[in-house]
Amino acid sequence: MASTQFYGRHVLVNIANFTMYMLEDNKLIFQKRVCVGKPFSQTPVFSDQIEYLEFNPYWTVPYSIASNEILPKLRKKCLLFGKPKYGIAVRWKKRSILNT
């Protein structure tokens, strides 16, 4: 890590190293591997005060990621491997599953 001195509590993320560090008075108290973006969807770099933490948040795939990244891969796999093993829920109703 950098030679910068941190006093109080701080959270640092080394994006290139996929690692998050928690420091208290410049001493490492916790370290964890993290997921970061890809070159075409980069992780933003910012500095701010943390107001709260949420561990294991509920998350659904955003429409843009589903349609631009996941769906093309599913379609390609179905073409390569035959019968689909995935379905896509369009709505939360019966008969709303599309086979890819």
Q: What is the pLDDT of residue 100?
A: 46
pTM listed for this prediction: 0.55
For 9, 31, 96, the CA distances from 28, given in Å and listed in that order, are: 10, 7, 50
* Residue among 47, 44, 1, 46 at smallest CA distance from 23: 1
Boundaries of every domain in the chain: 1-59, 63-99
Return the higher-pLDDT residue of 9 and 4.
9
Per-residue pLDDT, averaged over 58-86, amounts to 76
Q: What is the pLDDT of residue 99?
A: 53
* Residue among 59, 52, 39 at smallest CA distance from 11: 52
Q: What is the pLDDT of residue 89?
A: 64
3-state SS assignment for residue 81 = helix
Return the higher-pLDDT residue of 72 and 95.
72
3-state SS assignment for residue 18 = coil
Residue 44 is classified by DSSP as P
